[in-house]
């Protein structure tokens, strides 16, 4: 595998799956066949070209777009849970099931508010 030619050829690609697959194959080749270490692979010219192409296909997100994407991933990954009363997102350890309706997940503040209502 000529990783330099692969990196040049992929610059016209439009398929993210294909480009990311090539990145995987090139990294494995550099590791197994050329016996390069982690830092050498990360800084390799072919890797830089392929990573740049992936960024290109992703629309080159700026810091704001990255921040929004990060927030979305945190929520979708389940690290944050939405309180069903106030609608805010909280870390798992700050959300608990409502005492009288265990399926309802609430933040501490809303949970206490509901409990006061029950009292
Ligand atoms: Zn709440």
Give residue-wise pLDDT tens across range 61-86: 999 999 999 888 888 887 888 999 99
Written as tens digits, the pLDDT of the chain (119 aa) is 999 999 999 999 999 999 999 999 999 999 999 999 999 999 999 999 999 999 999 999 999 999 999 888 888 887 888 999 999 989 888 999 998 999 999 999 999 999 888 76
Q: How far is the CA of 69 from the centre of ligand 1 (A)?
A: 23
Ligand 1: centre distance to CA 85 (Å): 5
Ligand 1 midpoint to CA 113 (Å):
9
For residue 69, CA distances in Å to 3, 19, 43, 66, 73 come to 31, 21, 26, 5, 6
Both tokens of residue 27? 């990294």
């Amino acid at each position: 595998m000529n990783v330099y030619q692969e990196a040049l050829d992929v610059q016209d690609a439009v398929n993210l799956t294909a480009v990311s697959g090539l990145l995987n194959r090139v990294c494995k080749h550099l590791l197994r066949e050329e016996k390069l270490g982690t830092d050498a692979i990360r800084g390799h010219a072919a890797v830089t070209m392929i990573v740049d192409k992936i960024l290109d296909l992703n629309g080159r997100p700026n810091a704001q777009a990255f921040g929004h994407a990060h927030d979305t991933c945190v929520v979708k990954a389940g690290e944050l849970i939405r309180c069903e009363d106030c609608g805010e997102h909280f870390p798992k350890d700050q959300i608990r099931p409502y005492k009288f309706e265990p399926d309802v997940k609430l933040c501490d503040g809303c949970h206490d508010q509901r409990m006061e209502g029950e009292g």
